[in-house]
Amino acid sequence: MDKNNYVLIMAGGIGSRFWPKSRNHFPKQFLDILGTGKSLLQITYNRFLKVCPAEHIFIVTNSQYSDIILEQLPEISADQLICEPSRNNTAPCIAYASFKLAALNPEANLIVAPSDHFILFEDVFVERIGFALEYTRNHEALVTLGISPIRPDTGYGYIQYGKETEEGIYKVEKFREKPTLQKAQEYLSAGNYLWNAGIFIWKAKTIISALKKYAPEIHDLFESGKEHYNSPAERAFIDENYASSPNISIDYAIMEQADNIYTIPANFGWSDLGTWTSLHEAAGKDAANNVISAKQVNVQDTQNSIIHINTHKVAVIRGLDNFIVVDDGNALLIYPKDQEQEIKEVVRQLADEFGDSFT
């Protein structure tokens, strides 16, 4: 393994579209949502052990989740947690982590990846990551893995790419927002569009240069703390200054502006597990196309549904088609699967009406 390879696992999100299993105090990346006996974070961590040594895997998260992470990943040390004291989107936390690792190793070659994605073919994933690391090791490039689309999906952003280079990588022409169904069908037919999976590979110094050029306010804030990184003074500097960083995603801050963006098309059985429907697609199903996670349940005349019931509760379900049924703690969700995009807004309304205990 290359001593300059590092992984940043992004594990600070709330996952509100997975309500009520995913809550603010214990979001989906810490859940055994696939029924494997491991949380999504643990699965992701184990996957990256094939890429770099354990001591080179860092978890980027919100401070409130540090104890959960150390409990679920006892192999890592507290020094491998990069904790943001406030939620300011992905650009500031990636900037912070990049400055920290650049101070640790000026030649650090980074993988930035979400903690809660499903990958079926891990050997293909590791091979594509290795190819990307080799490219960024030798080029001042910002690389993203793009997923070859298998349907005209309106739930993902898209990457439009140009001709293949001599090295077998593609220059990104444009990032596209989540499209209408008609546009998604056009993208699929065009053949040069990929789903944006939010998996990035670059050298720490390359992303820092991009921040300096395209997001100087973020760059200058974290540059001012250079002398403190990886020292006892780091925490105080971050706690004092982090909240003043702009609230902006890495896509808007850098990826949609820089001119050295490249992509590698890949197909490794990927899902972002962003919604109950995406879990239904990824998980094993019974003969009626149901995904059921329950110990004591009687299901009849029900198909195409996803059912999660607490282990101590008995459930009797009949006559559902294409529904989400999730029982967890003080909340019960019964919702049409094809209308699940509304759930995030419903959760917001619940918080406004009943307080944060429901979220």
Task: Grade residue 203 by pLDDT with cuts at 50, 70 and 90.
Answer: very high
Could you tell me if 272 and 117 are in contact, meaning their C-beta atoms sit under 8 angstroms apart? yes
Task: Grade residue 357 by pLDDT with cuts at 50, 70 and 90.
Answer: low
- Secondary structure of 238-274 as H, E, C letters: HHHHHHHCCCCCHHHHHHCCCCCEEEEEECCCEECCC
Helices (H), ranges, 113-265: 122-138, 181-190, 204-214, 216-223, 234-241, 250
At 226-281, the pLDDT tens digits run 999 999 999 999 999 999 999 999 999 999 999 999 999 999 999 888 888 888 88
- Residues in CB range of 211: below 8 A, 6 or more apart: 91, 95, 98, 218, 219, 222, 253, 254
pLDDT of residue 113: 97
At 287-343, the pLDDT tens digits run 999 999 888 999 999 999 999 998 888 999 999 999 999 998 788 999 999 898 888
At 72-128, the pLDDT tens digits run 999 999 999 999 999 999 999 999 999 999 999 999 999 999 999 999 999 999 999
Could you tell me if 336 and 24 are in contact, meaning their C-beta atoms sit under 8 angstroms apart? no
DSSP 44-69: HHHHHTTTS-GGGEEEEEEGGGHHHH
The tokens 């049924």 sit on which residue? 325
Task: Grade residue 358 by pLDDT with cuts at 50, 70 and 90.
Answer: low
Superfamily covering domain 5-271: Spore Coat Polysaccharide Biosynthesis Protein SpsA; Chain A (3.90.550.10)
pLDDT of residue 106: 96
- Residue 15, pLDDT above cutoff 80: no
Per-residue b/e over 185-224, b at no fewer than 16 CB within 10 Å?
eebeeeeebbbbbbbbbbbbebbbbbbeebbeebbebbee
Lowest mean pLDDT among 30-44, 304-318, 343-357: 343-357
In whole angstroms, give the CA distance from residue 219 to residue 20.
37
Helix (H) or strand (E) segment spanning residue 171: strand 170-176
pLDDT of residue 153: 86
Percent of the chain surpassing pLDDT 70: 99
> Which is more confident, 299 or 355?
299
Instruction: Kindly report the number of other CB atoms within 10 A of residue 135's CB atom.
Output: 19
pLDDT of residue 191: 93
What are the structural domain ranges in the chain?
Answer: 5-271, 276-354
Structure tokens at 331: 């909340």
pLDDT of residue 236: 96
Per-residue b/e over 3-25, b at no fewer than 16 CB within 10 Å?
ebbbbbbbbbbbbbbbbbbbbbe
- Residue 353, pLDDT above cutoff 90: no
Task: Grade residue 218 by pLDDT with cuts at 50, 70 and 90.
Answer: very high
Determine the distance from the C-alpha atom of residue 123 to the mean position of all C-alpha atoms in its chain, rounded to a whole number.
19
Lowest mean pLDDT among 17-21, 147-151, 214-218, 299-303: 17-21
- Residues in CB range of 136: below 8 A, 6 or more apart: 109, 143, 201, 202, 203, 206
In the chain, how many H helices and how many E strands? 11, 17
Instruction: Kindly report the number of other CB atoms within 10 A of residue 63's CB atom.
Output: 16
